[in-house]
Structure 1
Amino acid sequence: MNGNNNFDDDAGLILAAEECPPEKFEEYHKFSKYDEVIIRKLCAHGPVLIRGGRGSGKSALLIESYRRMKKIDGIFPVYVSLRYLPLLQSDGLEYITHFCSVLSNSIQREISELDLDYTFTFATDQLSLQLELLNLAQTVGVRIVLLFDDAAHIGREKPLEVFFDLFRTLSSSLISCKASIYPGVTKFGIRFDVFNDSTVVDISRSDVLSAPDFFPDVVRARYPSLAEKQTFSDRLSPSNFANLLGRAVVGNLRGFILACNRFDGLEKVGIPEVNKCMLDMASDYFWPLMDEVAPKLGVYEPLIEPAREIIEAIVEHATKPVRDRTRSIAQDKVLVHRQLVSQYTKIFEILEYLGFVARREASRALKSGGRGPIFAINLCNLLDSIPSKRLTFEMVDEWLSGNSEPSDIHISGSIFHDIVLPTLPQEHGLAILEKPIDMLGRSAAYPYGFTPYLIETLHAGGIETVGQLANSSDQQLDDIDNIGLAKIKIIRETVYQAIWM
């Protein structure tokens, strides 16, 4: 190891649960009553898929379930992060080989930590893995629960069919498989029936009325000063502040944490400060997020521009009555005809994944005929499109009450009329891997990014692209001057964020 690191000790924000130090996990993570139901399902027998967008809290739920099961006799839980680049770049038998390797290593590590008198043979194929798992369960007398995190990547869908075949095959009376997936996963393979072979649980926190204590609890855990009444102006309570920010980012926890960070150091918080935070989040976080995510989308990268056009059209439609002065407050939900959602399926998945919208209801009747899902709109973008760009207490009350009727977008309307879907290219991998490491510098899009000095150090070590960095071994990084074990961990976490979002 190369001795002391000369970098700033700040490792960046803890934006992903899997990067949170184990000793801090309980302090930083809070779970609502609905979360507790999901955790119970993850701890119970049977295959479960938890589905949610980027930063929605899927990893936190898996890790908390793992932590609780470790305290229960007769259960052998294994948390497996599938953030492993070879898995993302392979398919078929090659994918299975890498998968067996990752899972075998995780199981061996778990056995070692528990000091069990059992030798788990390293598996290299599906059959040997299945037999080894069954033998472990029967010999030790436990029920094995496998928790697969980041099983799916929105820009690389091809290996998913192989994963779900493994998911189905490994599941048995002694082995329970659980996995996190994003809203747009559809390629389950011909042998996996998503409704018969698993229980699917959706994570949605955009409706703060269903869990009014969740976001205030998160604030109390991470930002104690923002939970004190004296921090706020007379008409703004700590709970309304937390729930407004939670609703503003349609329940996305990562967006919520980044919004709360903007109040660091403020002695007094009122509506003007919240107003500024929401406008800043729209301009220097959510819109840049589109550019950050584009190179991670693989064949779907060309859909970023029409996705931008669709969310702009939705927001413009929702705020038009305010501009026309027929309403004083913009409608914060939109009901979209199902044929339009079907036509732009992948775009709506991308928008939901990024936190621009969140699906509230699966189907409701439109006044003009037909049915469709209801989406909650990101309030940061909504406020940015209101002529005054000014937040009022009346808006806060209406948006938090959830009582406003959604605006309708019908199939016969012209709102999406000019939006053209491009022809998608053939599978070509992720463009992010070819990008220079300079793009990983700290910014609004990459708040967890590298310092300029670290980027210069990596360049000096011969590393130029994100792909090169991702494929570098710990030893190769350790051989670079001024990089040691602590900095390697930071590098790995940043690269994982960059590739897996």
Structure 2
Amino acid sequence: MSDFKIRTETIKPTKILEYFVETQEDRSIIERLKSDAPVVLVGSRGVGKSFLLRVAEAELKRDLEQHRVLPVYVSFTQGAVLQLADETQFYHWMLAKLCSSLIRSLKKSGFVLPVSLLSGNNDKQEEYLTRLVAEFENSWKPQQAHDIDSQFLPSIDDFKDAVEDICEEAEIETVNFFIDEAAHILRPAQQRQFFSLYRDINSPYINCNAAVYPGVTSFGDYFQPIHDAIFINLERDVSSAGYVENMRHMVEKQADSRLLGKIAQNISNFSLLAYAANGNPRVLLKTLVRAPSVYSREVNTVIKEFYKSDIWEEHSLLADKYAGFVGFINWGRDFVEEHVLPEIKQKNDTYLSDDKKTSCFFWIHKDSPAKIKKALGLLCYTGIISLHSDAVKASRSGVGARYSVNVGCLLALENTPASTGNTIVRNLTIKRMTEYGANHPTYGRLETDLDDFDDQTISSALDDQLRKSVDFLDLPEWLINALKGLSLNTIKDVLEATEETIQRAYYVGEVRSRYIKNEATSAVFEYLSG
């Protein structure tokens, strides 16, 4: 069976273009990311945000001599474990990450740093920044709990002036930052700080692009989404021309000859898995692993198990990590499972018997309670539903938001998805949607009040998660067993492990040990982030 790379983090940046399957929509996003206009790329987990950032970075590196645009990729994923003394330190951590990543990108591109980024012209600025970032990111460890000295960090204005000087000296047009995993953790205060930095840092010489999750982002009063950035939703429409072919090409980039043969023999079943994945390449790869022969029986089983159980686990796990969201998470799951999906299913059965178009859409009135919209936002965050469009008129001239349910969750309600699923998807139309008014009876079941999390709540939740078993991580069984074989039994153990430890204990080479470490740590931070 093909050993799929399901996370961008495990693909070498120098190899990223080899995995890229170009579509018209993706090409448009990449060109936007490479431009001098700030972009915020929005999408649920696994849909490909990180991958497109990396593709844009790789293309700018390839064309650096011609266009003189320096790409700087930086991931904020480790923000999930920061335990800082005050909110200003989070801002300092972000700035330190940007400074460190810029210096690294300049060096790798062959540029000599002509000026210092730090106040005081520190001769050992790279060493200082590396140590400073490490101190911030180790703040979750009890032995690291101390004041972090960031006195030499530049102010935003000094940083922008330094970048301007660097660009002029090195004949660089602009520096394009690609900030991955930005503002994705469920701490509103930190999210607001990120968007404050994002707005502050843009200049004629600096352009910021960021990837965020939908539904749960707090922008604050300073950042205005309409004016301060171009927002792009990364959604792959299952009804679009060429959808299945594009998803198949993504698989072909990694699949072995046996799987390719099975797909060719059972293209209708593969199409169903592609539709069920709802445009999410990671989900498609994970379900293919569980249906390696792509037979109808396998596909029926995988769709019913994965989309009735597994896909909901990620959503429900948010309740374990963040107690303040329990009411929203439980209501959202009940609302979709007990009302939205059954009602759409019942209507589709009627539509198909009458040879009419089908639906995967529902509509929520704009005057629905704010807590309902928050619960729906969490469903968007984990990819159970997607916001299709705002300001849509319904049958009684009411205005609201149209959402689509995950296609796989809808197909899982079929007795034999392989028999009826393709027909349902190929007949989808946005003109049919189930409507829920401003005072729908189900809303009364959500009694949780709206509130934010304080740092103490978040810290307590983090400690609980670090003590959990590695079984909770989204990793293949062989890798879970490999970690346990090294006595890395908890999430905290994996975070603290070094490549040298893995390599020495496992008697494997550098490449294999790095692969194990990278897979495990990326899964840890993805898990901890929500």
What TM-score comes out, normalization by structure 1 length? 0.83
2:491 is the alignment partner of 1:466? yes
In the alignment, what sits opposite 2:19? 28
In the alignment, what sits opposite 1:3? none
Residue 395 of structure 2 is aligned with which of 358, 367, 373? 367
Q: Residue 345 of structure 2 aligns to which amino acid in structure 1? A: T
Residue 96 of structure 2 is aligned with which of 92, 101, 110? 101
In the alignment, what sits opposite 1:285? 310
Q: Residue 407 of structure 1 aligns to which amino acid in structure 2? A: T
Residue 181 of structure 1 is aligned with which of 203, 208, 212? 212
Task: Give the Cα separation in 2 of the matches to 1:442 and 1:434.
Answer: 12
Asked whether the 8 Å contact 1:156–1:298 carries over to 2, the reply is no
Asked whether the 8 Å contact 1:46–1:176 carries over to 2, the reply is yes
Task: Give the Cα separation in 2 of the matches to 1:311 and 1:59.
Answer: 28
Q: Which ranges in structure 1 are unaligned for 5 or more consecutive residues?
A: 1-9
Task: Give the Cα separation in 1 of the matches to 2:80 and 2:311.
Answer: 30
Tell me: CA distance 1:448–1:340, structure 2 relative to 1, closer, same or farther (3 Å).
Answer: farther
Residue 161 of structure 2 is aligned with which of 131, 134, 154? 131
Asked whether the 8 Å contact 2:363–2:433 carries over to 1, the reply is yes
In the alignment, what sits opposite 2:334? 309
2:265 is the alignment partner of 1:232? yes
In the alignment, what sits opposite 2:200? 169
In the alignment, what sits opposite 1:377? 405
Cα displacement string for residues 60-96 of structure 1 (whole angstroms, at most 9, x for unaligned residues): 1110000000122311110111112477444532112
Task: Give the Cα separation in 2 of the matches to 1:49 and 1:290.
Answer: 23
After superposition, the CA RMSD in angstroms is 3.3
Q: Residue 409 of structure 2 aligns to which amino acid in structure 1? A: N
User: Equivalent residue of 1:306, what SS?
Assistant: helix
Tell me: CA distance 1:272–1:250, structure 2 relative to 1, closer, same or farther (3 Å).
Answer: same
User: Equivalent residue of 1:195, what SS?
Assistant: helix
Q: Residue 265 of structure 2 aligns to which amino acid in structure 1? A: F
2:170 is the alignment partner of 1:140? yes
Cα displacement string for residues 326-376 of structure 1 (whole angstroms, at most 9, x for unaligned residues): 865974222232333744122212211222112222232222441222222
User: Equivalent residue of 1:190, what SS?
Assistant: coil
In the alignment, what sits opposite 1:300? 325
Cα displacement string for residues 178-217 of structure 1 (whole angstroms, at most 9, x for unaligned residues): 1111112542222222111111111111443155342132
Share of identical aligned residues, percent?
19
2:278 is the alignment partner of 1:260? no
Residue 245 of structure 1 is aligned with which of 254, 265, 273? 273
2:70 is the alignment partner of 1:76? yes
Tell me: CA distance 1:263–1:456, structure 2 relative to 1, closer, same or farther (3 Å).
Answer: closer
More displaced stretch, 140-149 vs 421-430: 421-430
Q: Residue 108 of structure 1 aligns to which amino acid in structure 2? A: I
Q: CA deviation at 1:33?
A: 0.5
In the alignment, what sits opposite 2:10? 19
Task: Give the Cα separation in 2 of the matches to 1:496 and 1:200.
Answer: 25
In the alignment, what sits opposite 1:62? 53
In the alignment, what sits opposite 1:150? 181
Residue 40 of structure 2 is aligned with which of 41, 49, 67? 49
Task: Give the Cα separation in 2 of the matches to 1:86 and 1:356.
Answer: 22
The structure with more helix, counted as a fraction of residues: 2
Q: CA deviation at 1:270?
A: 4.8
Task: Give the Cα separation in 1 of the matches to 2:214 and 2:313.
Answer: 21
2:410 is the alignment partner of 1:400? no
Task: Give the Cα separation in 1 of the matches to 2:528 and 2:19.
Answer: 24
Task: Give the Cα separation in 2 of the matches to 1:117 and 1:23.
Answer: 22
Tell me: CA distance 1:201–1:331, structure 2 relative to 1, closer, same or farther (3 Å).
Answer: closer
More displaced stretch, 138-147 vs 447-456: 447-456
More displaced stretch, 347-356 vs 269-278: 269-278
In the alignment, what sits opposite 2:344? 318
Tell me: CA distance 1:164–1:26, structure 2 relative to 1, closer, same or farther (3 Å).
Answer: same
Task: Give the Cα separation in 2 of the matches to 1:85 and 1:152.
Answer: 9
Tell me: CA distance 1:215–1:11, structure 2 relative to 1, closer, same or farther (3 Å).
Answer: closer
More displaced stretch, 472-481 vs 351-360: 472-481
Asked whether the 8 Å contact 1:303–1:422 carries over to 2, the reply is no
Residue 414 of structure 1 is aligned with which of 441, 458, 465? 441
2:417 is the alignment partner of 1:391? yes
Cα displacement string for residues 124-153 of structure 1 (whole angstroms, at most 9, x for unaligned residues): 233343232222112111111111001112
More displaced stretch, 61-70 vs 156-165: 156-165
Q: Residue 332 of structure 1 aligns to which amino acid in structure 2? A: C
Asked whether the 8 Å contact 2:187–2:453 carries over to 1, the reply is no
Q: Residue 84 of structure 1 aligns to which amino acid in structure 2? A: Q
Asked whether the 8 Å contact 1:441–1:450 carries over to 2, the reply is no
Task: Give the Cα separation in 1 of the matches to 2:477 and 2:271.
Answer: 25
Task: Give the Cα separation in 2 of the matches to 1:261 and 1:253.
Answer: 13
Q: Residue 64 of structure 1 aligns to which amino acid in structure 2? A: V
Cα displacement string for residues 225-251 of structure 1 (whole angstroms, at most 9, x for unaligned residues): 555587435xxxx3x555533332322
Q: CA deviation at 1:42?
A: 0.6
Task: Give the Cα separation in 1 of the matches to 2:330 and 2:479.
Answer: 27
What TM-score comes out, normalization by structure 2 length? 0.79
In the alignment, what sits opposite 2:368? 340
More displaced stretch, 125-134 vs 161-170: 125-134
Q: CA deviation at 1:98?
A: 1.3
Q: CA deviation at 1:121?
A: 3.2
2:388 is the alignment partner of 1:356? no
Task: Give the Cα separation in 1 of the matches to 2:388 and 2:238.
Answer: 8
Q: CA deviation at 1:421?
A: 2.9
Task: Give the Cα separation in 2 of the matches to 1:353 and 1:400.
Answer: 26
More displaced stretch, 411-420 vs 201-210: 411-420
Asked whether the 8 Å contact 2:358–2:428 carries over to 1, the reply is no
Asked whether the 8 Å contact 2:188–2:453 carries over to 1, the reply is no
2:28 is the alignment partner of 1:37? yes
Cα displacement string for residues 287-329 of structure 1 (whole angstroms, at most 9, x for unaligned residues): 2222334344474354321221122121122224468x68659
